Chain A
């Protein structure tokens, strides 16, 4: 007989193993979905998860997609660790891209080493400004940050739409909804000739290192951890709750803003309507899959980035709808949350009583 027993303490081994389990379960369920849709499951999975990264180009694309996911997820981990539900990273990314794009457009016909740093800085500021709205409303007006940050996503996309159609549209662009191309000085350098992988990856890696340091080596990291476990305890300990809420939102906004900069000054090179295929939302999954741990997030961003690439490849080669990517992303999170059950409970085999 199998009995379900509550663990005395959440298991640490299970904590880092369940993400792997979740990925495996997603693959099985994904194969099943492919089968139901009338595709050969193994072939479909191969096109989804192996073919896209089989060559150097594919690998570069993987890193390209993983970069914004990793960057945003690192930022979100600050919020989620401290029990702040910022789910509007997509909006912060967009607004960061708008601000930095605006700055880049100011310099569209100029060259100079100073341009790129200013553009990157502007993006981080833009993301922080946008993230400060739900943060301030939460701390001083007691407003639910989930709904506010999400509503702002729609608003940011409409602002972007307004700008690229209207005042910022390229005067020589035949009314296409896009801005001028940025000057070369405002573009992140390409790392390998002929591929799209750009220097934005260093921003992501820097974020990983800094966040690791903050989480595990500073008092702030400790405060965040305590607030995440119990807000009451944090209050008794006398932590400045409001200040911390605003701070984690700002960090998270800056990261999302930087991800936006990376996209427009990296592969895109201008502003247009579709600067992000919902990286901001997908990064939520990445943050959880990475267990809110900086190193875990690196791996998680690579795994989830494959679902983007796989969806494209599978669509081209097998006419599998590209939304399968999103379905996989949803499933990963479902399975991850479900397998968390094993953190707190264990199955015990007991001999049947006769």
Chain B
């Protein structure tokens, strides 16, 4: 079998493209979790972002409005979660589940009128450079701005958490809300902000799916990516750079599945489709087996409510 060198580049590029929504959502959720909040509503926020982006694009015709609108929609829906968990001190797990159920319902309700409408072409950058360097060109050039942003995000997130004062505050709030509060930090405000930021990133991830990756609206089109993004955060042991690696593995699994079908490998298609979920479980088991490592890297107050008598 002759493997065209450019074909390798193209496959890598398509793996990266399918990793984009996972990176965006995971990096958003990572910040939320670092502040001590476990938001299981990622899937719901993503699907809200997907329909909002697609609907705004169809109605207004403006891609910029659509992308930012999707992020805003993510922020709005996560506000419900933030209000419930931070102000009304509800259980994080249950509230997150409610958010996902609600999000899937609302998105299908809004999306009813947008089924079957073709999407718009999203502008890509550096198109003219696409054929200059073998292998590298398809990876480096000819992608949407969201693509580049997604691959920069883990590094930005890492810098934010480790080198900035705000990042330190977020980590302090997540690891020891009581001490942070005693230092005069408004724990509730920080957590609010981190939840809303997570919402924005999940909204963007959804918009990427419905506007760039497969430009159309399909019901339930996130198809569990939100849950995989949540698993990736555990996989990364709350380290943004490792999210990049994890997302590439899962992107790879998605893409390999298509190519194996194309080559005619005689494995039932359902098994290939199930592969990312099964691998997620296996990876989680391998990562979590070392309970000491998990305990050391998990934000200490993750999923626990913080309440302060005034």
Q: Is A60 an interface position by the 8 A CB rule?
A: no
A65 to chain B, nearest CB (A): 17
Identify whether the interface residues of B are mostly helix, strand, loop, or mixed.
Answer: helix
**When the two chains form their complex, are residues B270 and A159 in contact, meaning their CB atoms are under 8 A apart?**
yes
**When the two chains form their complex, are residues B280 and A161 in contact, meaning their CB atoms are under 8 A apart?**
no
Interface membership of chain B positions 213-246, coded 1 if the CB is closer than 8 angstroms to chain A and 0 otherwise? 0000000000010010011001000000000000
Interface membership of chain B positions 93-128, coded 1 if the CB is closer than 8 angstroms to chain A and 0 otherwise? 111011101111110110010000000000000000
**When the two chains form their complex, are residues A154 and B101 in contact, meaning their CB atoms are under 8 A apart?**
no
Q: Is B40 an interface position by the 8 A CB rule?
A: yes
Residues of A within 8 A of B105 (CB): 323-330
Residues of A within 8 A of B88 (CB): 337-338, 340-341
**When the two chains form their complex, are residues B284 and A337 in contact, meaning their CB atoms are under 8 A apart?**
no
Q: Is A285 an interface position by the 8 A CB rule?
A: yes
**When the two chains form their complex, are residues A142 and B288 in contact, meaning their CB atoms are under 8 A apart?**
yes
**When the two chains form their complex, are residues A327 and B97 in contact, meaning their CB atoms are under 8 A apart?**
no
**When the two chains form their complex, are residues B288 and A323 in contact, meaning their CB atoms are under 8 A apart?**
no
Residues of B within 8 A of A146 (CB): 40, 93
Find the A residue at minimum CB distance from B101.
A330
- With beta carbons under 8 angstroms apart, the residue of A87, A165, A328, A334 that contacts B84 is A334
**When the two chains form their complex, are residues A337 and B271 in contact, meaning their CB atoms are under 8 A apart?**
no
How far does the alpha carbon of A318 sit from the alpha carbon of B230 in the complex, in Å?
38
Residues of B within 8 A of A147 (CB): 227, 230-231, 234, 280-281, 284
Q: Is B291 an interface position by the 8 A CB rule?
A: yes
**When the two chains form their complex, are residues A143 and B288 in contact, meaning their CB atoms are under 8 A apart?**
yes
Offer 14 A-B interface pairs, CB within 8 angstroms, sorted by A.
Answer: A142-B289, A147-B280, A152-B277, A155-B274, A281-B97, A282-B101, A321-B112, A326-B105, A326-B108, A330-B98, A337-B88, A338-B88, A338-B90, A340-B90
A111 to chain B, nearest CB (A): 33
How far does the alpha carbon of A137 sit from the alpha carbon of B288 in the complex, in Å?
10
Q: Is B56 an interface position by the 8 A CB rule?
A: no
Residues of B within 8 A of A288 (CB): 94
Interface membership of chain A positions 141-182, coded 1 if the CB is closer than 8 angstroms to chain B and 0 otherwise? 111101110111011001101100110000000000000000
How far does the alpha carbon of A333 sit from the alpha carbon of B112 in the complex, in Å?
24
Known contacts A144-B288, A155-B278; is-contact A324 B109 (Cβ 8 Å): yes
Find the A residue at minimum CB distance from B291.
A142
Which B residues fall within an 8 A CB radius of A? 40, 80, 84, 88-91, 93-95, 97-99, 101-106, 108-109, 112, 224, 227, 230-231, 234, 268, 270-271, 273-274, 277-278, 280-281, 284-285, 288-289, 291, 294, 309
Find the A residue at minimum CB distance from B104.
A326
**When the two chains form their complex, are residues A333 and B277 in contact, meaning their CB atoms are under 8 A apart?**
no
A31 to chain B, nearest CB (A): 15
Q: Is A235 an interface position by the 8 A CB rule?
A: no
Known contacts A141-B288, A337-B91; is-contact A154 B274 (Cβ 8 Å): yes
**When the two chains form their complex, are residues A161 and B270 in contact, meaning their CB atoms are under 8 A apart?**
yes
Residues of B within 8 A of A281 (CB): 97, 101
A290 to chain B, nearest CB (A): 13
Q: Is A348 an interface position by the 8 A CB rule?
A: no
Residues of A within 8 A of B227 (CB): 147, 150-151
Interface membership of chain A positions 1-20, coded 1 if the CB is closer than 8 angstroms to chain B and 0 otherwise? 00000100000000000000
How far does the alpha carbon of A144 sit from the alpha carbon of B105 in the complex, in Å?
26
Q: Is A284 an interface position by the 8 A CB rule?
A: yes
**When the two chains form their complex, are residues A152 and B281 in contact, meaning their CB atoms are under 8 A apart?**
yes
**When the two chains form their complex, are residues B274 and A337 in contact, meaning their CB atoms are under 8 A apart?**
no
